Chain A
């Protein structure tokens, strides 16, 4: 017990009580100053809230320098990819979308989308913006718009159908394989505009004849819509939470003027913290949008303790100031510790690698500490200035209430007796629960999907379901092949060119001009070739010899770098694509290989037998030259970089579940193990579905770290607070059981472990340790006073247990307005937190007395002996 010895030597208590005295003195002697300070601070911070900026981009779950995110954005830039809104049209009555009316509507809609502000016009993909490549007459190849005008007859519509079903790029991307539906892919310049653009598109849809049903989906719309509804939910849930808390406290204390104090504490804390966060330039992310609703119930908890005890102790005729001084002084230490431990729980979120979670944790943590300070400064000042009549009024109401005793007060003592009588049974029951729960934890399925953040019947969920039924998938992942030899090849080329460029056979002017280009580190053979070619026009015979060498070397380098025009490389991609289809989650994949095969087919016979990769690098290059002679040559650069050293395979996934993405990644990894990549080639992932998987992985491991560290920190704090290892461990018991039970439940019920669930662990820890602190602290105080375990127990189940239960109810019910939110993550958090608070309060009240009873020999030995 040497640790305990040292802990006991610490003169913590003395320091704290001196500090508390000073603070309370200040509050009671200068109440007006306290009022003004709080008011000014609140208004100043509140003014900053107008600068609010909402951020719903799940990409921001990763820090900007996260390698996966950097790569993703590099890929987006290299392949000129945009965020895409997918508009789906499903023929309403007709069996096929290829009827005159449906296509005419589609053309009209596509045309009006092209006119919308914020749309990247040249990349819009629909039947009316794409090219058809086909055989016209014998030996003739033709590029033409697939649907340049609205079809005027059924046969025209059918012919568009026949043509488009021949193009692999179109089938199951732009028209469904069942011919029932067609899509318009709308790339947008700024993803933060997607909600507005989606609304504009809906407006255009309303102008069409009703031959099709329309659905709008795509991750940017989901994200931006989420942002919009986030505002709605903040507008609904936060005031509702305030109302619920207010009513609940009014019920407990029966005095509107008394209850006003905790409400002031809660409101000012929420406003100051939100104002500070926004003022510091942080965006309001899905996580931080929950700060008000988290802070409000937690902020009133301290005041509830003070008010509870004040209401119990105050007798008419007494000086309110004297009573509140006693009460606050007496509660100062447990309140400080509960605030610090709760804050520690939230601060621990700062060690997760997810920026929005860090911000959330830090600001809620600060909010809790602020609430403590505001409680200490404001509540005593407020109560001391309450009029005698208001206090008498409250007292009389409380007394009449006390006579009929609240449900809580009536039932609690029997809980205590039950707990002590059946302590062994309770411990056994808890042990079994923990074992079963731990088993459940191993069954937890980690999964998330931003589209699932909407309720089942939300239009985005419906669109998602319908479009993924008809098409090969509306979720994107990008498999990117890189020719890693590129660097080495380019270096050896530039080495040899540098030697040639400084040859003595060259004029000084020529040497100068060549070196000018070569000094650029990223010089490409194209650039050198252009300069050397220019120089060659006026070159002497002597120079010509060298320049020709430079030209030849550069030409060789250009072709040598074109890895993704080599038939063997293309064949590898072709086989991998075929294999991916067997994984079950990839509906379709598109690559430069599909482009090449299609053009090759039409250049040759137009028959399927020519739907193959040409047999030489030059043949591939010449085929691609033809593709570039279409209306949309730029489409090629979405699949391969202009130097052909990188190539992208666009995977259409039917599900945006991270689980399924993980399976696709696993499938590709396995394929690469079985079929090694061509030498010098590497493969990497990009795309939103993949990024979601990455931040989820980070969140899972990050949350485990955060939970562990919070656990250790809180445990250490408990040991210091109680100056006892055994009490410290006991204090951790209720919350440990609660957390294990909660995650066990998630495992058993098959609910996915997603972002909101992950965040809950650290919160639970910070919040429910409060109950244990108050319970243990008060138990020890009573035991010191009475020296009898039985008496302590019966006292404990009066005022302290009531206060704990009240607080549990305030917090639990305070979160319930989240259940009314239109968005699933808020509902999840609300439901779970309410449950957790209730469970952990119950566990505290039942398990702690049972444990005390079993361990009383050790716990109370000093006094007993």
Chain B
């Protein structure tokens, strides 16, 4: 147990996350027009992809809504605001997730201090219990508040944890195959990604189990330009076994707001920064 955990703690960036929570609020990167695509190695593509969608400007803000639909078609909504600030380009980042719906969980806050190469710090604030809690740095492939997204999709899976191969290259996509270095630490045996050659945003990630069956699928449903940056605004994670899924939608995305660093402190959990949460 312990050995496997430590390995999951080293993040440089995340592949899955890029589609989802961060993809939309990452800052622009210059697409390397001068790089000859043919010469990119698999590892380079992955790093570029993760940079493209994960690290960029200094900060970002978005409204997010998750529609969680179960196998019977029953829907639950979760709505929250995400604030993000990069501490160092390609390195440490801080996130604050403040829930607004359903109203009985309004005010619940989730905070991450992402520290690549070390363990992330995660906090939780539950207003109705008046409780600030740290979340143990353990397995991060647990559900994010009941959605089909994992916490690791939120805080990031390091490219270092997988071996990457370029399976195929088409006009538009790189198709990559990623195999975990520590298979016991994850529920999949490998996953495939389709990375857009222009934006370096993965448009599809497909997870396979030991018997080679596709079990989980993440798709970028809609991508728009925000302040000149290609940004995923609708993404969907599907459980391919039972047909349930989560649809994540982003609204009112803004980059480079100049968010204060003290927004991301433990003491701010009880008093989320109104200034940054007010979209009007």
A residues lining the B interface (CB < 8 Å): 77-78, 80, 115, 121-122, 131, 136-137, 139-145, 148-149, 524, 526-527, 529-530, 533, 537, 555-556, 558-559, 562, 565, 600, 603-604, 614, 616-619, 621-623, 625-626, 628-634, 636-637, 641-643
Residue of B whose beta carbon sits closest to that of A527:
B75
Q: A623-B129, A625-B145 are in contact. Are A122 and B105 (CB under 8 A)?
A: no
Question: Does B267 belong to the interface (CB within 8 Å)?
Answer: no
Residue of B74, B124, B134, B251 touching A626 (CB-CB under 8 A): B124
Which B residue's beta carbon lies closest to that of A565? B104
Whether A555 touches B102, Cβ cut-off 8 Å, given contacts A143-B142, A618-B127, is yes
Q: Is B26 an interface residue (CB 8 A)?
A: no
Contact of A628 with B1 at beta-carbon distance under 8 Å, contacts A603-B126, A603-B133 already known:
no
Query: Can you show 12 pairs from A to B with CB atoms below 8 A apart?
Result: A136-B136, A137-B134, A141-B136, A555-B103, A604-B129, A618-B105, A618-B127, A622-B126, A626-B124, A629-B143, A633-B143, A636-B146
Q: How far is the CA of A77 from the CA of B70 in the complex (A)?
A: 11
Q: Which 5 interchain pairs have the tightest Cβ spacing?
A: A628-B146, A142-B136, A618-B128, A621-B104, A619-B128
B1 touches A145 (CB 8 A): yes
- B129 and A619 contacting across the interface, CB-CB below 8 Å: yes
Contact A533 to B70, CB < 8 A, known contacts A148-B4, A629-B142, A630-B142: no
Q: Are A629 and B145 in contact (CB under 8 A)?
A: yes
A633–B139 alpha-carbon span in the complex (Å): 15
Please judge, given known A-B contacts A139-B134, A614-B128, A623-B129, whether A628 and B145 are in contact too, CB under 8 Å: yes
| Residues of B55-88 whose CB lies within 8 A of A | 65, 67-68, 70-72, 74-77, 79
Q: B134–A558 contact, CB under 8 A?
A: no
**A115 touching B210, Cβ below 8 Å:** yes
Which residues does chain B contribute within 8 Å of A629, judged by CB atoms?
142-146, 151
CB distance B72 to A631 under 8 Å? no
Cβ of A448 to closest chain B Cβ, rounded Å: 33
Distance A623 CA – B127 CA, assembled complex (angstroms): 11
- The reply to whether A622 and B76 contact each other, CB–CB distance below 8 Å, is no
B211→A115 contact, CB < 8 A: yes
Nearest residue in B to A147 (C-beta to C-beta)?
Answer: B1
Chain B residues, CB < 8 A from A115: 210-211
Q: Is B131 an interface residue (CB 8 A)?
A: yes
B-side contacts of A559, CB under 8 Å: 102-104
A143 to B150 Cα, complex, angstroms = 13
Interface flags, B135-169, vs A, CB<8A=1, else 0 = 11011011111100001000000000000000000
- CB pair A143 B139 closer than 8 Å: yes
Contacts A619-B128, A629-B142: A526 and B75 contacting too (C-beta < 8 A)? yes
B270 to chain A, nearest CB (A): 14
Chain A CB within 8 A of B198 CB: no
What is the CB-to-nearest-CB distance from B249 to chain A, in angstroms, rounded to a whole number?
Answer: 9
Contact of A642 with B135 in the complex, beta carbons under 8 Å = no
| A364 to B146 alpha-carbon distance, docked (Å) | 55
**Chain A residues whose C-beta falls within 8 Å of the C-beta of B252 in the assembled complex:** 537
Smallest distance from the beta carbon of B268 to chain A beta carbons, Å? Answer: 17
> Roughly how many angstroms separate A637 CA and B69 CA in the complex, as a whole number?
12
Q: Is the CB of A643 within 8 A of B241?
A: no
- Whether, in the assembled complex, B101 has its beta carbon less than 8 Å from a beta carbon of chain A, the answer is yes
**Shortest distance between the CB of B231 and any CB in chain A (Å):** 16
Q: Once the chains bind, are B143 and A631 in contact (CB under 8 Å)?
A: yes
Q: At the interface, yes or no: B225 with Cβ under 8 Å from chain A?
A: no
How distant is the Cα of A494 from the Cα of B268 in the complex, in angstroms? 39
> What are the residues of chain A within 8 A of B127 when measuring CB–CB?
618, 622
Cα A630 to Cα B124 in complex, Å, equals 14
B202 to chain A, nearest CB (A): 24
Q: Which residues of B contact A555 (CB under 8 A)?
A: 101-103
Of all chain B residues, which has the CB nearest A637? Answer: B70
Name B residues whose Cβ lies closer than 8 Å to a Cβ of A.
1, 4, 65, 67-68, 70-72, 74-77, 79, 101-105, 108, 124, 126-129, 131-136, 138-139, 141-146, 151, 184, 210-211, 241-242, 251-252
A141-B135, A559-B103, A631-B143 are known contacts. Are A616 and B74 too (CB-CB below 8 A)?
Answer: no
Q: Give the chain A neighbours of B124 by CB distance below 8 A.
A: 141, 626
Contact B138 A144 (CB under 8 A): yes
**Chain A contacts for B151, CB-based, 8 A:** 629
B67 touches A530 (CB 8 A): yes
Residues in B whose Cβ lies below 8 Å from that of A618: 104-105, 127-128
Given contacts A142-B136, A625-B108, 14 further A-B contacts (CB under 8 A): A77-B72, A80-B72, A121-B241, A143-B142, A533-B65, A537-B251, A559-B102, A562-B104, A600-B129, A618-B105, A618-B128, A625-B126, A626-B124, A630-B143
Say yes or no: A625-B71 contact (C-beta < 8 A), given A139-B134, A633-B146: no
Please report the C-alpha to C-alpha distance between residue A228 and residue B102 in the assembled complex, in whole angstroms: 51
The smallest C-beta distance from B30 to any residue of chain A, in angstroms, reads 31
Are the CB atoms of A642 and B77 closer together than 8 Å? no
Whether the Cβ atoms of B65 and A530 lie closer than 8 Å is yes
Assess A141 versus B133: contact at CB under 8 Å? Given A533-B79, A562-B104, A565-B104: yes
Q: Within the complex, what minimum Cβ distance (angstroms) separates A851 from chain B?
A: 66
Q: Nearest-CB distance from A117 to chain B (Å)?
A: 9
**What A residues does B77 contact at CB under 8 A?**
526, 529-530
Tell me, rounded to whole Å, the shortest Cβ–Cβ distance linking B1 to chain A: 5
| B1 in contact with A144 (CB, 8 Å) | yes
**B67 / chain A contacts, CB cutoff of 8 Å:** 530
- In the complex, A632→B4 CA distance in Å? 19
Complex Cα distance, B4 from A136, in Å, reads 17
Q: In the complex, what's the smallest C-beta–C-beta distance from A494 to chain B, in angstroms?
A: 16
User: Of B71, B76, B143, B210, which is within 8 A of A80 by CB?
Assistant: B71
Output the nearest chain A residue to B239 by Cβ-Cβ distance: A122
On whether A142 and B105 interact (CB within 8 A), knowing A526-B75, A530-B67, the answer reads: no
- Expressed in whole angstroms, the Cα–Cα distance for A141 and B139 within the complex equals 12
Cβ contacts under 8 Å, A149 to chain B: 1, 4, 184
Are B76 and A526 in contact, CB atoms less than 8 angstroms apart?
yes
Q: Is the CB of B128 within 8 A of A621?
A: yes
* A526 to B79 alpha-carbon distance, docked (Å): 11
Q: How far is the CA of A473 from the CA of B241 in the complex (A)?
A: 30
Across-interface contacts of B211 in A (CB, < 8 A): 115
Chain A minimum-CB-distance residue to B99:
A625
Is there contact, CB below 8 Å, between A144 and B139?
A: yes
Residues in B whose Cβ lies below 8 Å from that of A556: 103
Taking the nearest CB of chain B, how far is it from the CB of A96, in angstroms? 20
A556 to chain B, nearest CB (A): 8
Residue of B nearest to A156 (CB): B1
Q: Among A565, A614, A631, which residue has its beta carbon within 8 angstroms of that of B129?
A: A614
Question: In this complex, which of A131, A622, A632 has the most chain B Cβ atoms within 10 angstroms of its Cβ?
Answer: A622
Q: Considering only CB atoms, which chain B residue lies closest to A141 in the complex?
A: B133
Within 8 Å by CB of B138, from A143, A600, A614, lies: A143
> A628 to B241, Cβ gap below 8 A?
no
Q: Do A617 and B134 touch across chains, with their CB atoms under 8 A apart? A: no
Partner of B135, one of A80, A140, A527: A140
Q: Which residue of A lies closest to B184 (CB)?
A: A149
Structural contact, B105 and A621, CB atoms closer than 8 A: yes
Task: Give Cα A658 to B236, complex, Å.
Answer: 47
**Smallest Cβ distance from B73 to chain A, in angstroms?**
10
Residue of A with least CB distance to B68:
A642
B74 (CB) vs chain A CBs: closest residue = A642
Contact at A140–B128, with CB atoms within 8 Å? no
A537–B133 alpha-carbon span in the complex (Å) = 34
Instruction: State in angstroms the CA–CA spacing of A600 and B129 once bound together.
Output: 9
Is B76 in contact with A642, judged by CB distance below 8 angstroms? yes
By beta carbon, the residue of chain A nearest B76 is A642
A104 → chain B closest CB, angstroms: 14
Q: How far is the CA of A641 from the CA of B102 in the complex (A)?
A: 16
A530 vs B67: C-alpha distance in the bound complex, in angstroms?
9
Which chain A residue shows the least CB distance to B279? A537
> Across the interface, which residues of B come within 8 angstroms of A600, CB to CB?
129
Which B residue sits closest to A616, measured CB to CB? B128
Which of B72, B75, B143 is close to A628, meaning CB atoms less than 8 Å apart?
B143
In the complex, residue of chain B having the shortest beta-carbon distance to the beta carbon of A146: B1
Question: For the complex, what is the distance from the CA of A524 to the CA of B72, rounded to whole Å?
Answer: 14
Structural contact, B102 and A140, CB atoms closer than 8 A: no
Bound CA span A66–B183, Å: 49
